[in-house]
Amino acid sequence: MRGLVAEVAVAAPLDKPLSYLVEKALADSLRIGMRVKVPLGRRTAIGYVIAIRSGETDRLKPLLEVLGEEPLFPSGMVELLRRAADYYQYPLGEVIRTALPVGLSTGNEASVLMESHYQPAPKDGEPRGPRQRTLLAHLRRVSCASRTDLLALFPGCHASLKALVGQGFVLEEQRERLRDPFADLPPVADVRLAMTEAQKQVFAEVEQAMHAGGFAPMLLHGVTGSGKTEIYLRSIEKVLQAGRQALVLVPEIALTPQLVSRFRSRFAGDRVCLAVLHSGLSAGERFDAWRSVARGDVDIVIGARSAVFAPLGRLGMIVVDEEHESSYKQGDGFRYHARDLALMRGQMEGALVLLGSATPALTTFYRARQGKLAYLSLPERVLDRPLPDVELIDLGRERPEGILAQPLKQALLANLERGEQSLLLLNRRGFAPYLLCADCGNALRCPHCDITLTFYLSQKVLRCNYCDYRQPPPEQCPTCHGAALLPEGAGTERLEQELRDLLPTARIARMDRDTTGRKGAHQSLVTAMENRSIDVLVGTQMVAKGLDFPGVTLVGVAQTDNLLNLPDFRAAERTFTLLTQVAGRAGRGERPGRVYVQTYAPEHFSLACCARHDYLAFAREELRLRQELGYPPFGFLAHCVFSGTDRQQVESMAESLAEGLADAAIGLGVEILGPAPCPLARLRGKNRYQILLKAPLRPPLRHLLAHLARLRRILPRAVILTVDVDPLDML
């Protein structure tokens, strides 16, 4: 028997979508992109309709329920979601669930918020009370107003409104109220500076690509403070004038308020609707924003990684700001890279994709050099402001008593005397990375992870920064029972304490994950820096990411060698990028900036290139080394991690699959490294082994990954295999 069939991607670890019978009662309401409830074995599950067709229905189970009245994503996005699932080797239903806001991806939908709106009725005469007459006059002047707006203008007007409605002078209507997470964000002045010659040339090339139409991938390589955001704003103006929409991706949730302020100020008089999408919003805020975008009411979407899936139907441009940032890569579950999906989506929808950075990822820069991306350059700062002078402090010679060497201490004192702001980077949280027993050399470790416990002085606790295990610091060593437990190494807490001793009159603040955990805390610190109510800001890499503080003239980097010496082929690139980005926070205002970098390896080429602001020299040397070793962009990687509580079982399964892969890889040219214990061999109570697949070309690697998908069926439930295509973190 033939009938209507729905192809449903079930939010479960299934290889392919399932087919369900669509009964007549649901046929009229069902559309592609809708969320449904379906039978799955002995239980019910949530799924997403990706196709509707006619076909044989004799052996099909009926679809149980359609959830919601509108599709959650347009039918045109199905192909993007399919390709993403295929590329990253992840179930399609789980991909869609990741793409959707929490309130929409599950059966527990966030509610629509309604609010009373009032408008004058066509009735002659005037009400008696003076307060009622004032309210009515206002409504006649503005035609319609919400209850929130009226209460803000006329506090305590509830009774007067009720009376006006009761007397027939005013009509009351319930309308949907959108939750705006940035309603209280203070506006910023839109300073539209004349473009530099370099900006004019870049903008002309962007305009030319727009006029040509179709997919246009471009890399905007501009030094810090060169005016990349102005290029974004002017380009998006052109996109909106053409009746299309824009998507702007930022690497960190914390950066959205500053960017939202800039965009709202620029487009304030143009009736442009802007929505924000990221995981830091409440479920209701994300629900409202997503529905507004899906309905076509939004012109510009600004968001973090997951916003790449925003259901825009007329997409004309995607901006990926700070495209080099590793936070664009999802670290667990569906391990996608938002930058790469932005390029994929732009190609599918014929949109311009603009990748912006002062330190482009080497893979991106290489693609531009190969002609796969247009290369646009902004080599100088706006207003002829110079790049900061960078001085490398050799810790092998200086040997500081605490964290800071004498040259940096003197610079901080002088900067405070001049009333200028300073920023210090130390990419470690807490007071000290570990407590060490001076008697036996034992360092206190996490019982669940292969890592030392970080000591937090402010909370008087030892904490694992991976699994969040906590314990109070012991009074004696658990190994030898000695009492000489000493905090070793340095974190942001310890640096803050040293600064307070050095600069007792300074206003000092700290920006890391511990001080910005609650909602609004990060923005409070940003506002305080902008208002010059902080003299010295110390923090982790959060302080290096895209923030614009014109008052900062001094930047200090307390430590670089921990990042440079990581067991990762990208260590030099990460070091150069972080140092260049944090150095770029200095001298963005009227006064020039200075940067001090403390290191035991001042001769390393990544540091020397950073001191000269020479990205091209760094890229040449690093690409040469990568080519010799066959690492990206000259090769392609997939990282396979096996985990479970039984170490021997995990190791055995990793070896079995490695043997199966080796047989299948004959003649493909794919190198199989491992299995071997992961650098973090134990994490959250699970033992971990890894296999790294390395290939000079992508097709053979994809062929082997398809074989791995079949091999993994032999794994027992106690062993979990995660596959990370194009990995950034292999710890």
Q: Give per-residue pLDDT as tens, 562-580.
A: 999 988 999 999 999 999 9
Q: Residue 51 domain-assigned?
A: yes
Q: Is 95 helix (H, G, I), strand (E, B) or coil?
A: helix
Given this model, what pLDDT does residue 269 score?
65
CA dist 686 and 651 (Å) reads 12
Q: Residue 336 domain-assigned?
A: yes
668-700 burial, b at 16+ Cβ within 10 Å, e below that, comes to eebebebbebbebbbbeebbbbbbbbbbeeeeb
CA dist 71 and 36 (Å) reads 10
**Cα distances (angstroms) measured from residue 46 to each of 21, 285, 333:** 15, 22, 18
Q: Are residues 127 and 257 in the same domain?
A: no
Q: What is the CATH number of the domain that holds 580?
A: 3.40.50.300
Given this model, what pLDDT does residue 181 score?
59
pLDDT digits 0-9 by tens, 318-331: 999 999 999 999 99
Q: Residue 712 domain-assigned?
A: yes
Q: Are residues 598 and 648 in the same domain?
A: no
Q: Is 454 exposed, middle or buried (0-12, 13-18, 19+ CB in 10 A)?
A: buried
**Cα distances (angstroms) measured from residue 40 to each of 9, 43, 61, 264, 703:** 12, 5, 9, 46, 30
Annotated binding site: 437, 440, 446, 449, 464, 467, 477, 480
- Judge whether 695 and 297 are in contact, CB under 8 Å: no
Q: For 174-188, 508-522, 525-539, 576-590, which range has the lowest pLDDT when averaged over its residues?
A: 174-188
Query: What own/partner pairs with CB < 8 Å and gap ≥ 24 does 24-27 have?
Result: 26/63, 26/65, 26/66
Domain boundary, last residue among 61, 78, 105: 105
Annotated binding site for Zn(2+): 437, 440, 446, 449, 464, 467, 477, 480
CA atoms in the 13 A half-sphere facing the CB of 495: 31
Q: Residue 247 domain-assigned?
A: yes
Average pLDDT, rounded, for the chain? 91
Cβ neighbours around 418 below 10 Å, total? 9
483 versus 614: which is more confidently predicted? 614
* Residue 723 in this model has a pLDDT that exceeds 90: yes
- Judge whether 465 and 454 are in contact, CB under 8 Å: yes
Q: Residue 456 domain-assigned?
A: no
DSSP H helices in 88-153: 92-99, 102-105, 130-142, 147-153
Put residue 127 in one of left, alpha, beta given phi > 0 → left and psi -120 to 50 → alpha: beta
Q: Residue 458 domain-assigned?
A: no
Q: What is the CATH number of the domain that holds 710?
A: 3.30.70.600
* Residue 184 in this model has a pLDDT that exceeds 60: no
Q: Are residues 144 and 286 in the same domain?
A: no
* Residue 519 in this model has a pLDDT that exceeds 80: no
Q: Are residues 568 and 702 in the same domain?
A: no
Hunting for tokens 């359609």 — which residue is that? 66
pLDDT digits 0-9 by tens, 362-416: 999 999 999 999 999 999 999 889 999 999 999 999 888 899 999 999 999 999 9
Given this model, what pLDDT does residue 697 score?
95
Given this model, what pLDDT does residue 114 score?
66
Q: Residue 211 domain-assigned?
A: yes
Of all residues in the chain, the percent with pLDDT exceeding 70 is 95
Given this model, what pLDDT does residue 102 score?
73
Q: Which residues contact 124 (CB under 8 A, 6 or more apart)?
A: none
* Residue 465 in this model has a pLDDT that exceeds 70: yes
- Judge whether 9 and 51 are in contact, CB under 8 Å: no
Q: Confidence band (pLDDT; 50, 70, 90) for 626? A: very high
Please give the span between the terminal C-alpha atoms of the chain, in angstroms, as a whole number: 54
Q: Are residues 15 and 28 in the same domain?
A: yes
Task: Report the number of distinct structural domains present in the chain.
Answer: 5
Closest CA to 657 of 717, 705, 728, 702: 705
Q: Are residues 526 and 655 in the same domain?
A: no
Q: Are residues 28 and 71 in the same domain?
A: yes
* Residue 240 in this model has a pLDDT that exceeds 70: yes
- Judge whether 326 and 545 are in contact, CB under 8 Å: no
pLDDT digits 0-9 by tens, 257-285: 778 888 888 887 667 788 888 766 677 77
Put residue 476 in one of left, alpha, beta given phi > 0 → left and psi -120 to 50 → alpha: beta
Given this model, what pLDDT does residue 103 score?
62
Q: Are residues 154 and 252 in the same domain?
A: no
Q: Residue 7 domain-assigned?
A: yes
pLDDT digits 0-9 by tens, 7-48: 999 988 888 999 999 999 999 999 999 999 999 999 999 999
Q: Are residues 120 and 62 in the same domain?
A: no
Q: Are residues 204 and 96 in the same domain?
A: no
Given this model, what pLDDT does residue 109 score?
54
pLDDT digits 0-9 by tens, 49-88: 999 999 988 899 999 999 988 888 888 899 999 999 999 9
Which tokens go with 260?
Answer: 């939202």
Q: Are residues 161 and 291 in the same domain?
A: no
pLDDT digits 0-9 by tens, 152-166: 888 888 888 888 988
- Judge whether 312 and 290 are in contact, CB under 8 Å: no
* Residue 107 in this model has a pLDDT that exceeds 80: no
**Residue 342 carries which side chain, given as an amino acid letter?**
A
- Looking only at the bridges linking them, the beta strands covering 389-394 and 315-321 are unpaired
Q: Confidence band (pLDDT; 50, 70, 90) for 252? A: confident
Provide the residue range defining the domain that includes 221: 197-383
Q: Are residues 25 and 134 in the same domain?
A: no
CA dist 548 and 588 (Å) reads 7
Read off the DSSP letter of residue 443: B
CA dist 366 and 624 (Å) reads 11
Given this model, what pLDDT does residue 110 score?
52
Hunting for tokens 């066509």 — which residue is that? 122
CA atoms in the 13 A half-sphere facing the CB of 347: 12
- Judge whether 591 and 415 are in contact, CB under 8 Å: no
Could you give the strand order of the β-sheet that contains 170-176, starting from the edge strand earlier in sequence? Answer: 145-146, 114-120, 170-176
